[in-house]
Amino acid sequence: MRLLIRPPKILRRLYKKSVWRINPASPTLYLTFDDGPIPELTPWVLDTLKHYNISATFFCVGENLLKYPEIAQRITNEGHLIGNHTFNHLKGWKSKNDAYLNNIEKCNSLSESKLFRPPYGRLKISQYKKLKDNYKIVFWDVLTHDYDKNISKEKCLKNSIKYTRNGSIIVFHDNKKAELKLKYALPAYIEHFLKLNYKFAVIN
């Protein structure tokens, strides 16, 4: 099965007011982490980012923000940004519009962010049209597949490096399914691009 590391061009055309990649003035990458925060993994991610003195954007699930406010506070205290990933990690394609939009607003009562990423990258056109004027909808340029049990941790790292380019938005996950590959790939990925004089920044 061919992995979709970079999203198809048709999606970029359909959701053209969304953010897929950024055009920075100097070599810059944008690390993002989806699905947290959770105590089993998010503190390790924060420790890693702190070790390398870099910033990232965390697209958080509202119910996790509610459960672990101290981790959410640490994210912002350490200079990172929080984005909205719905309250219950809903799949837009399978959700009625009103329920989906209400779930986003429920998360926003905790995240207080105008950054939004749809879980699974799945969003109906009708939902997109309702959201695009009130949120900065952030997709990605590189999907690491750190959650995918069918690829090795080495392949996860190799693909992530191969497809990264200046301005890439990269998706890792701070969830339990991703733990093994994340802990292997994230430090090596960061070190690789720091050696190439890239910096890492949040998505504003």
Reported in sequence order, the residue ranges of 79-204 that DSSP labels E, i.e. its strands, are: 81-84, 115-116, 136-137, 142-143, 169-173, 199-200
- The Cα 82–Cα 34 span in angstroms is 10
**Residue from 168, 67, 167 nearest 159 by CA:** 168
Reported in sequence order, the residue ranges of 2-114 that DSSP labels E, i.e. its strands, are: 28-34, 57-60, 81-84
- The Cα 81–Cα 24 span in angstroms is 18
What residues are labeled active site? 34, 173
Q: How far apart are the first and last CA of the chain?
A: 35
Q: Strand, helix or coil at 126?
A: helix
Q: Is the omega angle on the peptide bond into residue 37 within 30 degrees of 0, that is, cis?
A: yes
Kindly give the interhelix angle for 179-195 and 153-163, rounded to the nearest 10 degrees: 40
What is the residue whose two structure tokens read 């900065």?
136
In sequence order, the β-bridge partners of residue 81 are: 57
